[in-house]
Amino acid sequence: MNIEELKSTYKLYGYKINENHKDILICLYEEGRYFGADIIPLKQSKLIMLNAEKIRNEYSKSGYASKLKIYSTSIEAEIELYKSFFAYISSKKRNKKKYSDFAVKQRKINGGFVYKYINSPFTINGNISKNGITKSITEHLKNPKPQLVIIEASAGYGKTCTSFELLNNLLDSDSCEIPLMTELSRNRGANIFRYILLDEIDRQYPNLDSKIVKHEIQKGRIPLIIDGFDELLKKSNIVKSDKSDVFNEVETMLDTIGNLLKNSAKIILTTRKTAIFSGSEFKAWANKWNDKFDIYRYSIEVPRIKDWIGEQKLNSIREKNIPVEYIANPVLLTYLKNLKAFDFELLLEDPNSIVKTYFKSLMTREMERQDLKINPEKQYEIFKNTVKMLIDFDSSTEKQSFFKEIIYDQNKSIINDAIKLYSSNTDIEDLKDKLSNHAILDRKGIQENHIGFINDFVFGTFIGEIMSEEKTEKINKNWSSYMVELGVTAYKVQNKENKEKLWDKIEKLKGRFEQHSLFNFDITLRNALLRNYEESEFNSFSIFNIIFENEFKIRKSVFINCVFKKCVFKNYSFEDVTFFNCTFIECKSENDIKLEDMPNVKAINCKQENSEILVFYKSYDNKKSDLERIENNILLEIYNGQSKTNSLLKSINKDDKKIVNKAFSNLIDSNFIELNGLSIKLSTNKIPKIKQRIDAK
């Protein structure tokens, strides 16, 4: 046993060390009203054990809570102190209740049915994975090296559900961990991230020195789950602005996290899909830490409808020729999953009303659950008016007391009329309480003293409708891009007419947005390519049913980690475009043209399923030495510090495209190089062989 480590651990936890007895360590805790003494024999001879027991009795008589502690290693002592001071059992129970409370909230909005987490497809660092996402993350967290896990998803596509599921999995595991989960919210009172995080740590463990908590976080015994990292950003990366200025705000937050990522620390962030974590600025931030921790980016994709509603209901949808994009949202799929067969078939008769029917069912249930004497249409109007005020504040949450005042202030006539339907025992305050406890609202924030909408889909649906009706001038002047994005994402499951109405409004504001945002708006709301794109980067898009025609072209651009499903590629719609880590599912091309046959188009490490639009160079006609030369050139460029794939391609662009693609494929398949978005690096375990190849050039 390492005696010095043992002493150091006890000192960290506030003990004083008495070393007056040979071969026996006496650790005294004298804080407040509690006096404790741990008597630790350093050897286990009969005489030493008798002396230790004698010392323990002496301290007991002096009023100490004294215990004889026998350890084989200093790690045993460290774990026991950790479990004792962090109230291991009760802390686990508290977190279990947090998960149970979340499940109850979800039950409120899915028709009263038991909440069950359903996996959606996802990628890890751009690579498709077929395991469950929480299982995959849990495996990464077992690595002793510090881990930063980033979970990205579009608004309303399961970030919070995934973080709670991960919390529950960690609590059920046999590992000695107490996860600490904090939910961040976008509100006007949000302070500096560093202080928010420290405040949450202090709130969870008010009686412990922050040094102890930090120590156990870095030991990996307290994994941090930070849900809604992007909620604190005042600027959105989809607004046309100086990217470095936008990242400066993010960098200070990331530095707080980076400074915690030591020893075996584990930190999990959830965030909306954004270019923040795929751009060169983030790569530069990661590089400055010199590989001191691993980074894994998980991206939750559009859900597989069959996984949610089953084969029978999916067949009914197909028979009605209903576009699946009308329902491809986890919130709606949960609702449809729980509908009885008759009600489901009835709803399919008018698929344009699916979203309206969902909201109506929620509000009808509230009339029964809370004896709320306001019809569903008026309830919808109340919350729509409330959202208008939140948009003006650029806030998704407000303090409970203020939220209630917003509800009343924005809906006085409706609420005053509703009061007349109650007996004299119900007053305005009672009705405000009922509305602030509505199923579509939820307590938010670190201390749950704020209220917001239950999820981004509900909130975004109101935003999209308001935006469709609002004057362009007001949107341009007062609306943040955060609100615009929430509205667009939620409207993905609206009918064609509603989506086009929202697109028309956004099109008048197109000067505010960068090209990758306009691309998102076009494919989400119009299912078409509606303009030319040049020198753009499209990262982690799910692109469904788009016909890429020659009328509009994409030039000098890159697609990274994108999924193309049921898309049609016509003529030469791409020029000087590179596809990295992209997947093509059930895609077609005009006249059997291949992507790589288009002018200067490359597909690096891409895959296709039920498609024939990629060229796979399984055989190679030229000399084998030419291929090896290109492979070695690629390895040398990376070894000399070239980490940007685009720059690397330009440096070898004079070579035949067929050779370059084959060389890249060989190096990736042989695990010599690793692609992560636009970044490329050498595989660490292959460095000796790589050096041999470079030296032999």
Same domain, residue pair 131 and 256: yes
Q: Is residue 83 part of a domain?
A: no
Same domain, residue pair 42 and 116: no
Domain boundary among 567, 587, 615: 615
66: left (phi over 0), alpha (psi -120 to 50) or beta: beta
pTM: 0.78
One DSSP character per residue, 32-69 reads TTEEEEEEEESS--HHHHHHHHHHHHHHHHTT-EEEE-
Same domain, residue pair 253 and 153: yes
Q: Is residue 213 part of a domain?
A: yes
Question: Is residue 396 within 8 Å of residue 231, measured between CB atoms?
Answer: yes
Same domain, residue pair 644 and 597: no
Q: Is residue 472 part of a domain?
A: no
Nearest to 204 by CA among 302, 103, 92: 92
- In this structure, the number of other CB atoms found within 10 A of the CB of residue 268 comes to 27
Q: Is residue 519 part of a domain?
A: no
Give CA 10 to chain center in angstroms: 37
Burial category of 564 from C-beta neighbours within 10 Å (exposed 0-12, middle 13-18, buried 19 and up): buried
Counted domains in the chain: 5
Same domain, residue pair 141 and 232: yes
Dihedral angle over CA of 416, 422, 424, 428, nearest 10: -40
Nearest to 310 by CA among 339, 343, 349, 348: 339
Same domain, residue pair 110 and 73: no
Does residue 234 register a pLDDT over 60? no
Same domain, residue pair 96 and 212: yes
Q: Where are the beta strands (DSSP E) in 386-513?
A: 397-399, 441-444, 450-453
Does residue 540 register a pLDDT over 50? yes
Q: Is residue 492 part of a domain?
A: no
Residues in the chain: 697
Give the percent of the chain with pLDDT over 90.
45
Rounded to an integer, what distance in angstroms lies between the CA atom of residue 576 and that of residue 554?
Answer: 8
Helix (H, G, I), strand (E, B) or coil at 394: coil
Question: Is residue 147 within 8 Å of residue 217, measured between CB atoms?
Answer: no
Same domain, residue pair 242 and 94: yes
| Per-residue pLDDT band at 112 (split at 50, 70, 90) | confident
pLDDT on residue 241: 44
Segments forming the whole domain that contains residue 665:
624-695
pLDDT on residue 239: 40
Higher per-residue pLDDT: 659 or 496: 496
Same domain, residue pair 161 and 275: yes
Residues in Cβ contact with 539 at an 8 Å cutoff, skipping those fewer than 6 apart? 275, 278, 516, 560, 561, 562, 677
Domain boundary among 438, 457, 476: 457
- In this structure, the number of other CB atoms found within 10 A of the CB of residue 342 comes to 8
CATH number at residue 690: 1.10.10.10
Helix (H, G, I), strand (E, B) or coil at 374: coil
- In this structure, the number of other CB atoms found within 10 A of the CB of residue 375 comes to 14
| Per-residue pLDDT band at 570 (split at 50, 70, 90) | confident
Same domain, residue pair 106 and 148: yes
Helix (H, G, I), strand (E, B) or coil at 235: coil
Residues in Cβ contact with 368 at an 8 Å cutoff, skipping those fewer than 6 apart? none
Mean predicted confidence (pLDDT) in 386-394 = 94
Reported as type and span, the H/E element at residue 162 is helix 159-172
Q: Which residues pair with 513 in a beta bridge?
A: 239
Q: Where are the beta strands (DSSP E) in 108-179?
A: 122-124, 127-129, 147-153
Q: Is residue 72 part of a domain?
A: yes
Domain boundary among 457, 490, 515: 457
Q: What is the pLDDT of residues 450-493, one digit of tens each?
A: 899 988 999 999 999 999 999 999 999 889 888 998 999 999 98
Question: Is residue 411 within 8 Å of residue 383, measured between CB atoms?
Answer: no
CATH number at residue 64: 3.40.1350
The tokens describing 207, both together, are 């009686």
Of the CA atoms within 13 Å of residue 109, those in its CB half-sphere come to 21
CATH number at residue 241: 3.40.50
Out of 9-13, 167-171, 290-294, 676-680, least confident range: 676-680
Same domain, residue pair 72 and 99: no
- Residue 519 vs residues 497, 532, 543, 639: alpha-carbon distances, Å: 19, 10, 10, 35
Same domain, residue pair 426 and 532: no
Higher per-residue pLDDT: 677 or 468: 468
Q: Is residue 491 part of a domain?
A: no
Q: Is residue 506 part of a domain?
A: no
Q: What is the pLDDT of residues 613-637, one digit of tens each?
A: 988 655 555 556 677 888 888 888 7
pLDDT on residue 242: 45
Rounded to an integer, what distance in angstroms lies between the CA atom of residue 498 and that of residue 19?
Answer: 77
Expressed in angstroms, the distance from the first to the final Cα of the chain is 52
The tokens describing 324, both together, are 């699946």
Residues in Cβ contact with 79 at an 8 Å cutoff, skipping those fewer than 6 apart? 176
